[in-house]
Chains A and B, each alone.
Chain A
C-alpha cells in the first residue's frame, strides 16, 4: 500500500477491483464503511457479484483478464473529458516529458510497441525514451500539448479504447462501464480523493504488472497519489507478506529491495556501479544513489564483521543469479519437475495446493531426494506421496516434517499491507514439540555450520562466516535460546565503530538512528535499510502503542512504526502544490509552514517545489517524477490489452497480438504435456477463475483444521450462472466435475445469479469460479482448484495466471 488501512476512510470514491476485500480483507471494510458513512461511493468491478459487490453503490461485471481494457477505457474517458488534475501532472509526473519521436505504439504496430523482436520474444527499449537536453535532462512541454509529450501519446494510445470496444472485450454493459468511469474520474480535482484496493485478482495474470500500471496511471492523471484517501493499495493476502517481501521473499531482491547480485557482477564495486540508478537532473534526489550504503550495511549485518573492505565485506559469499536467470516459483518447480533440484524446504507453505498447476507441482516433488516441510499441520505437501494418483512405493523422496509454532505462540513483528511493522507478543507457549521458526533456523544453522567445519564441502564460508549473534552463547558455542529482539536490532543496524556524522559522535555498538546515517565504508550494519529507524536507542519503535493523531487524517504516528522512517503515506510531497500547500485543505497529509513541514514525515525534507534548491517529489525515481510513461515494464511503457493465455475468443479485438508478447511460454518451449493449454477450444469453453473465501485462509491448512470454519464452508464448490446450469442440467447442490487441460476437480455446484453470462464479440461467454482453499488431506473437502490452473506467468514477475483460464464443467457421473 502507498497509503494504509485506516486511510481508506478518507476516500471519496473507493474502487475495489482485482480484489474481494469484504471477503478476503474483512477488517478493511471497517474503513470502507466509515468512508461510505461520510458519503463516499463504493465501486465494485468483478467477474462475480461478491460480498464486496453486495455493499457497493455500483457493481460492474467484467470477464476475467480484461482489466486493462476496462481501465484503458477509463483513461480515455478522463483524457477526452479533461477530468485530469493538470497542475498535479505538471508538477509531479512525467506527463509533460517529450518522448523519442521514433517511439511507436500498438495502434500503429498491430498490438506491439516499437522495438519488438519476434525471435527473442522481448523488446529493444531504445525508443522507449525521452528527448533530453544537452545536460541529459528530459525535455518537457509544461502545457502538455506537444504531440510527442507523454500525456498526448497516452491519449492517442487509449483513443482505441472506446466504450463500445471495451464493452465488447470485457462484457461489461456500457451503462455500468460509464457509471464507474464517471464516479471514479470525479476525483480528478483538488480536494477529492479516490483509492484503489486490489489484490491477486490483478496480479495473477499474464498482464498482472500492467494491470497495476494502468491503475497507477489513472491515479496520477487524477492526482490521487500521495494524498489522504488516495494511492494504489495492494491488499496483501497474509498478515506478514509485506514483511517477508521487504525482507527478500522473492528471488530477485535482497532485503530492502536491493537487486540480487548477478554472477557477472564480480565484486562489490561492480554491483554498486551496475545497480545504482543515475540521473543528470540536479533537481532529482534519486535516492537510490545511496545504494552503496545500503548494500554495504547489509553485508556488514549478514556476515562476520571481521571481513574487511578488502574482502568486500563478504560480497562474494552472497548467493548470485546467473545472468538472465529467472528463479521464480514456476521456474523452480519446472526445474524440480525436470530433476534439477534435489532438496526442498517447504517452510510455512503448501505448494501441493497453492502452486499453479498443482498436479505438476506434486509430480515435481516426487523427483526430489528430500523435502523438509515446516508447518503447523500435516498437509497435502508433507503427505504428497500418498495423495491421489500417487504410488508411494514408486516415490523415493524422503520427507521430514518439522512442527512449528503459530503466530500466537511467538514474539516478533508482523508488517501489514500499510507497511506498519507491529510488534506482537507470545500469547501462549507452543504446543507439544513445535518450536518457533527462529529456533528451528538457529538449530539448523549451528548444525550445518558444524558439518561444514568438520567435513568441509563446497563453499562453506557462505554459512560459516555468517554473523549469528542472536542470543547468549553457551559453553558449546551455540545459542540455545534465540533473542528475537537481537534479530530486530540487527535489521535496524548498529554502528560497528565510533563514527562522527554531522558533528555528532556515534559510539560503536549504538543502534543507527535512521538510514540517512548508514555508511558505505563498513562502519554501519543494517539488515534492511528500509527498517533502519525501527529499533533505535529510543527503544523498539515497533512496540509503540501511542494513539494520538495530531494530523486528524488517521496517521497515528506513534502507533507501531512504518517504513520508511515512519512515513505513513508514501509520495506525500505530491499531496501539495508548488508552494507546499495541500491540494486537500480539509485532509492535509503534509503542509509547508514557511520554515518547515508539518504533518506526516515528508518524502524528503526539501522546501516546496517553487523554491530554489529543492528536489522533486518522487525521490525513488531517477527523473524525480512519477512515471505515467514507464519504460521499466517488459511489455511497453503504456499498458495494452492482451488476452489471457487461455481465453474464450479467437482474436484480440484490439489487435493481431493476442497474448502478452513477452511472456515465457512454457508449453512451446518445453513441450511438457503438464504445461498444455487450450485457448478458444471447444473442449474447455468456459472462463474460470479462482479465489479465496472469508472462512478459509490460503490453501486452508490452518482453517481446514478448525472445525468451526469448516462447518461454514465445508467443501469444494464451483459457482456458475443459472443459464449455464440449465444447459448442463446442473442444480445447486449437485456434485460436478470441473476439468481443464491440466486436471480436474470435483465440486458442489452453487448455481447463482451472482455470476452472469458475458456478451463478448457477439457471443455469450460463461464464467465459473472456484476457491483454492481445499485439499484432499481434509476428508470430504475436495481438492485444490490449482489442479486446473496453467503454467504461465506474468512477463515481469512470473506470478502465475490463475485468475483467467479455461475449463469444462459437467455433472458428476
Chain B
C-alpha cells in the first residue's frame, strides 16, 4: 500500500503554476508602475512600454487561471463548518509548537479563506485593470478610483501571497508535494486534513 494519496489533478497543477508564473510576471511588470524604486524592473521586459504590455497579457492569463482554479475547487472552498470555526479560534495552531490539529477537510479554513480572497481580489484587479487598460477611455473619477483599488488589491494580494508561499513550503513541510506532482504523504493528510483523509481512504 502506498504511502501517498492523490491531492491535485494534473489540470489543477498546470493551472496553478501558470497562475503562479503570471503572478510573478504581474508583480515584476507592475512594480515599476507602483513606485519609482522599482522602475528598473521594467528592464526585465525590455522597457516600460513592453513591461506594461507584459502586464496586460499576464493579467489576462492570471484572471483566467485564477477563476478556473477557484471554480475547480469552489465546492470545497466555499463550505465552512464548526471545525473551521474552531480552527480560526486557534489561529490554525500556528501560534504554538506541536498543538493538536483540528480536523479539517481537503482544505483547511485558512486555505479556504485564501481561496475566497484570491477570487475576490482577482475579480477586483480584473475589473479595475479593465478600466485602466486605457486610462483615458473612461470617466476620470472611475479611472482614478480604479487606479487606487488596483493598487490596494495588489498590496493585499502580495501580502496574501507571502503567507501562502510560506505556509505551503517551509511553514508546512510536505505541502508543496501536492502541487508539485499531485500526491501528498498519508501522514501529511492525516495531520493536516484528517476529515479529507478519512474520505479518500474510505474509512
Q: Do chains A and B touch in the complex (CB under 8 A)?
A: no
